[in-house]
Structure 1
Amino acid sequence: MRFKKLCAFAAVAAMLVGCSSTNQTKTTVKNPIFGFIGPLTGDASQYGTAVKNALELAVEKYNKENGTKITIKAYDDKADATEAVNAYNKLVDDDNVTAVLSPVTTASCLAVANASKAKSTPILTPSGTGDNITIDSSTKKAYKNVFRICTNDSYAGTYLAKLCNTKFNFRKVAILYNKELDYSAGLDASFEKEAKNQNVNVVYSGAYNANTKDFSTFISKIKASGCDSVYLPDYYESVVTITKQLRDAGINVPLFGGDGWDGILGVKGVNAKNFENTYYVSGFNKDATSGPAKAFIDAYQKKYNTMPNMFAAMEYDAVTVMMKAINAAKSTDPDKINEQLAKITVTNDEAACGGFKYNEYHDPQKEMVTVTVKNGKYVTVS
């Protein structure tokens, strides 16, 4: 009997040790720290604030549903690359973050991607669209630790050029882009390359500086070009300024652009009528009536009393994607998480912005929607 009791005691002890070890592993995975780097002040603050809001909303929901205790450390980079790297260093060295679900803007993403290479910190940006964000310039291959939720510039610019042919029948396009902004120049380059394949003629291409306020010289040339449409690949603040000047000059042809337009109706003093007969592409359907997109919209509006933009929706998805990778890795070890991110599959039932897989450059392959403005509201074009 004594021998049996000793065996039973040993078995129970072994089970307790096993449970302790298992719980410790689960606790480690249950308590990741997510870093945020984005513009909370300055011209691009509308983007940064919306993305941070979505991050907080997603973490709150995930914690409640899964019993986790995910925490967030956030820094304002003012859309400045140097500030972004400083923030990254704080997140890694001082805050010991598990992953960074940002930066928000392309320039900041490029800087942080390079800075993060040595430590392999998982970087998952919701909105950094520049082609080279995920690519290590020294190897011409993808960084093992940098991924995105949004599509990249080449994908979006190519998609828009195809739409000119297949959907809108634009044949004579005038272009006005920001030569000092990676996002704008990248969208322009990919569009012009694909336009040739689509029998779309670029009748004028003008490049302005980032601090340009008066576009009258460019507008005169656009007016003389005989264009049937104008392509404006820039962020919403500049797009609102240029659009007003185009409309005031009597240029009423269709205007179109990339996902950087998302936010035009939120600019102070914007005349929504200027955006009738305009279009932009987005990875998020704001008119969704069911599924994860609708659930996100309802939750965001309830918490923040405003409609979320596309990049907010993508940050919401970023939490799902990162936790899926962490759980698959069963660890917060950065190399193990990166390995799982690279082979992750996201279904339409899991993501507000649709399911996807990554290609070899860690760019998601997903569908896009076209958005217009009618009666002062965003409307998805069928």
Structure 2
Amino acid sequence: MRKKLLAAAMSTLLMAGALAGCGGGAKEDANVIKIGGNFELTGGVANYGKQAVNGIQLAIKQANDAGGVMGKQIKLVLADNKSEAAEATNAITKLITQDKVVAVFGPATSSNTLATVQVSQDNKVPVITPTGTNEKITVDNGKTRPYAFRSCFIDPLQGTIMANFASNTLKAKTAVIYIDSSSDYSKGLSQSFEALFTQNGGKVLGKEAFLQKDQDFKSTLTKIKALNPDVIYLPAYYEEVGKILKQAREMGITAPFLGGDGWDDPKVVEIAGVAPLNNTFFSNHYSSQDTDPVVVKFIEAYKKEYNQEPSALAALGYDAGLLLIDALKRANSTDPAKIREALEQTKNLQLSTGTVTIDANHNPIKSAVVIEMKDGKQMFKEKVTPKL
């Protein structure tokens, strides 16, 4: 009898402990707003994901230090998509169905983001990519995806900027386009560049392609060299860009290379070397040389937090964080539908890369810049403000 009583007592204590544990978890959940982060933390473009996450975490830290939102602390739940589209789909599915996040940041690349947007639409949970620039992320067959947003400008703007830069600033009459055929991002930029460059009176002498992870580009570069273009448009990511520029300069190709924001990573200098990057230019979202007080304040805060200067990807991650935090405050709710409505109504919001208004296609209307690489450093070249 004594053993039965002891067993019953122990059972009651264990149950009480379990209930207390459940109660603690529920209390914690009640005091936090869980936001997902679906990013490339490992794999081929891990640097992009890590930089974007740094920016997001800084925005969240500042908001939490200031008291949070609705009296709650924001918690970032990260999932590594390993720089692969299939893993990105798995990651967002887990974040929404298991972690029960109310919104998702990421991924960083267009291809990986495109692999996730249908999941966000099906589950009616907003997704904000800081750096996915492909048009189809927010618009599908002419219709705006209700739950898809971004804090970066879109590919056509980048291609347009560099086509005008080639024609007007560099006075180029001929070009060769060299794309990563495995990348939606690369294809999108090349299409808009070609359309405007030819409209400006320029001639595209040839189009060549490579695949991500390729190592030897000399065969294709030999063809490009023979065409002798005024400029070479290379809309790709930093790893391949670095290798192509290194090999091109070794082969005696001296023409200017132009690109997009995928160039923006310190590793491009490590891979290519300092000299091969001279006489190259790329479109970007902001410049660290901007003297705007808002930009300066962000750079100082980022340096204090991470002991390094922020890249454009870090700035866009920070902007994505500010965009969502502002929407949460105005929605005064963690209901994903209300967060979506607040995101759509964003107008004249001051972010690190400029003042932003979200347009009907869920894209931000804001300025862009052209960066020149000189002696291994990024130099501000031009600023472009879109017409409203």
Q: TM-score range by the shorter chain?
A: 0.7 to 0.9
Of 168, 171, 174, the match for 2:173: 171
Paired with 1:51 and 1:295, the residues of 2 have a C-alpha distance of 18
Q: Secondary structure at the match of 2:379?
A: strand
- Tell me, yes or no, if structure 1 residue 94 matches structure 2 residue 98: yes
- One-letter identity of the residue aligned with 2:74: I
Unaligned runs of 5+ in 2: 1-27, 383-388
Partner of 2:380: 380
Partner of 1:7: none
- Tell me, yes or no, if structure 1 residue 56 matches structure 2 residue 63: no
Partner of 1:276: 278
Matches within 5 A, 1:153-302: 153-265=155-267, 268-302=270-304
- One-letter identity of the residue aligned with 1:118: D
- One-letter identity of the residue aligned with 2:334: T
Counterpart contact for 2:258–2:282, Cα < 8 Å: yes
Paired with 1:303 and 1:196, the residues of 2 have a C-alpha distance of 45
CA displacement, residues 310-367 of structure 1 (integer Å, 9 cap, x when unaligned): 11101101111111111211211111111111121134xx211111222221111211
Q: Secondary structure at the match of 1:114?
A: helix
Counterpart contact for 2:239–2:267, Cα < 8 Å: no
Counterpart contact for 1:237–1:264, Cα < 8 Å: no
Counterpart contact for 2:41–2:80, Cα < 8 Å: yes
Partner of 1:317: 319
Partner of 1:134: 138
Paired with 1:76 and 1:185, the residues of 2 have a C-alpha distance of 25
Q: Displacement of 1:212 after TM fit?
A: 2.4
Partner of 1:66: 67
Partner of 1:105: 109
CA displacement, residues 212-256 of structure 1 (integer Å, 9 cap, x when unaligned): 221112111111112111110001111001000110000111111
- One-letter identity of the residue aligned with 1:115: V
Paired with 1:45 and 1:267, the residues of 2 have a C-alpha distance of 17
- Tell me, yes or no, if structure 1 residue 45 matches structure 2 residue 37: no
Q: Displacement of 1:28 after TM fit?
A: 9.6
Q: TM-score, normalised by structure 2?
A: 0.87
- One-letter identity of the residue aligned with 2:341: E
CA displacement, residues 88-147 of structure 1 (integer Å, 9 cap, x when unaligned): 11111121112112111111111110111111111111001111011234xx31111100
Paired with 2:174 and 2:292, the residues of 1 have a C-alpha distance of 38
Paired with 1:319 and 1:143, the residues of 2 have a C-alpha distance of 20
Identity %: 34
Q: Displacement of 1:155 after TM fit?
A: 1.7
Counterpart contact for 2:277–2:375, Cα < 8 Å: no
Q: Displacement of 1:269 after TM fit?
A: 4.4
Q: Displacement of 1:266 after TM fit?
A: 5.2
- Tell me, yes or no, if structure 1 residue 333 matches structure 2 residue 348: no
- One-letter identity of the residue aligned with 1:343: Q
Q: Displacement of 1:290 after TM fit?
A: 3.7
Distance change (3 Å), C-alpha of 1:29 and 1:381: farther
Q: Secondary structure at the match of 2:77?
A: strand
Partner of 1:19: none
Paired with 1:223 and 1:377, the residues of 2 have a C-alpha distance of 26
Counterpart contact for 1:40–1:76, Cα < 8 Å: yes
Paired with 1:269 and 1:108, the residues of 2 have a C-alpha distance of 24
Counterpart contact for 2:355–2:366, Cα < 8 Å: yes
- One-letter identity of the residue aligned with 1:275: L
Over aligned residues, Cα RMSD in angstroms?
1.8
- One-letter identity of the residue aligned with 1:33: K
Counterpart contact for 2:179–2:234, Cα < 8 Å: yes
How many residues align? The count is 352
Distance change (3 Å), C-alpha of 1:226 and 1:214: same
Distance change (3 Å), C-alpha of 1:62 and 1:220: same
Matches within 5 A, 1:347-358: 347=349, 350-358=350-358
- One-letter identity of the residue aligned with 1:35: G
- One-letter identity of the residue aligned with 1:90: K
Distance change (3 Å), C-alpha of 1:42 and 1:288: same
Paired with 2:228 and 2:311, the residues of 1 have a C-alpha distance of 34
Unaligned runs of 5+ in 1: 1-26
Counterpart contact for 2:174–2:203, Cα < 8 Å: yes
Q: Displacement of 1:267 after TM fit?
A: 5.6
Counterpart contact for 1:29–1:332, Cα < 8 Å: no
Paired with 1:352 and 1:166, the residues of 2 have a C-alpha distance of 28
Paired with 2:67 and 2:291, the residues of 1 have a C-alpha distance of 26
Paired with 2:357 and 2:292, the residues of 1 have a C-alpha distance of 22
- One-letter identity of the residue aligned with 2:67: N
Partner of 1:21: none
Paired with 2:272 and 2:303, the residues of 1 have a C-alpha distance of 22
